[in-house]
Amino acid sequence: MTLEAKIAYINAQTAAMLAELEGMKALNVERTRNDFALAYGEKEFMDLPARFGLTHNQVIEYLRDP
């Protein structure tokens, strides 16, 4: 895979992660308005990059592999 293709994949993963992040935030807002407990806490938000392969080390390793 070319470097450009790898970068495009990373960008696509970033977009997917951000879409999920916005959905999580929206659900938390809705639940707050309805006086329910939050659906997602700090841990779930902090775990997103790893789930999508977007931590610093994951990205560096992905770009380093031939």
User: In angstroms, rounded to a whole number, what is the distance separating the alpha carbons of residues 35 and 51?
Assistant: 29
pLDDT in tens, the chain (66 residues): 899 999 999 999 999 999 999 999 999 999 999 999 999 999 999 999 999 999 999 999 999 977
For the chain, state the CA radius of gyration.
15
User: In angstroms, rounded to a whole number, what is the distance separating the alpha carbons of residues 43 and 28?
Assistant: 14
Nearest alpha-carbon partner for 13 in 44, 25, 62, 65: 62
